[in-house]
Amino acid sequence: MSPALTLQEGDWASLGEAAGAIRRCVFIVEQQVPQEEEWDGLDPHCRHFLAYRGRQALGTARLLPDGHIGRVAVLAKARGQGVGRDLMEAAIACAQRHGHRRVVLSAQTHALAFYESLGFVSQGEEFLDAGIPHLEMVRPLTG
Ligand code: COA
């Protein structure tokens, strides 16, 4: 049986090496996002989330100070196992703890159903970012 998923939350200084390695695989290599767009300088200002199975880091996400969730990435071999869902729930819970009234994100359109299953609703017109079609999505937070 494979070990259970565990989640870590922290800053870029502590999680950046592992989170950066996943984002390089997923965004820069797999999706061909230009390096200068991926490394946008915001990471030191974000809370970061890492999902592990055993000692292996499989996925990551970040929460910006303004309640924006982004850079949600799960290694191809680990998709469809709930890793992305666990990361999103951790980021949403963190936003809630920080007093945000809503969380927002720019969703790649292929991942709309993933975010809809987490309570996000799309708004506005489709736009291109790094050549990839996106839609803004929002989820209100209660309490
Ligand atoms: N299309 C439709 N539904 C999807 C989906 C997709 N591409 N990916 C996941 N889902 C659904 C799952 O079926 C699941 O639904 P369920 O709970 O009803 O079974 C739910 O979303 C959660 O799936 P999960 O296994 O947690 O997702 P994941 O670990 O595979 O992560 C991504 C999803 C999008 C983060 C992952 O596919 C990924 O990293 N893709 C490449 C990078 C990327 O595009 N990131 C998003 C940038 S906006």
Residue ID of nearest Cα to ligand 1 atom 11: 114
Q: Is 122 in the pocket of ligand 1 (CB under 6 A)?
A: no
Q: How many CB atoms lie within 10 A of CB 114?
A: 17
Q: Is 104 in the pocket of ligand 1 (CB under 6 A)?
A: no
Pocket test of ligand 1: the residue of 22, 79, 81, 139 to mutate, having most ligand atoms within 8 Å of its CB, is 79
Alpha helices in 2-82 (DSSP H): 12-23, 35-38
What is the residue whose two structure tokens read 């880091």? 57
What domains appear along the chain, each with residue ranges and CATH number?
5-140 (3.40.630.30)
Q: How far is the CA of 114 from the centre of ligand 1 (A)?
A: 5
Per-residue pLDDT of the chain (143 residues; tens, 9 = 90+): 788 999 999 999 999 999 999 999 999 999 999 999 999 999 999 999 999 999 999 999 999 999 999 999 999 999 999 999 999 999 999 999 999 999 999 999 999 999 999 999 999 999 999 899 999 999 999 86
Tell me the pTM.
0.96
Residue type, 123: Q
Is residue 70 helix, strand or coil?
strand
- CA nearest 103: which of 53, 52, 47, 60? 47
Residue type present at position 45: H
What's the burial of 140, exposed, middle or buried (CB within 10 Å: 0-12/13-18/19+)?
exposed
Which residue out of 24, 37, 74 has the highest number of ligand 1 atoms within 8 Å of its CB and is therefore the one to mutate? 74
Using CA atoms, how far apart are residues 41 and 58, in angstroms rounded to an integer? 23
Cα separation, 128 vs 143, in Å, equals 34
Contact 86, 42 (CB under 8 A): no
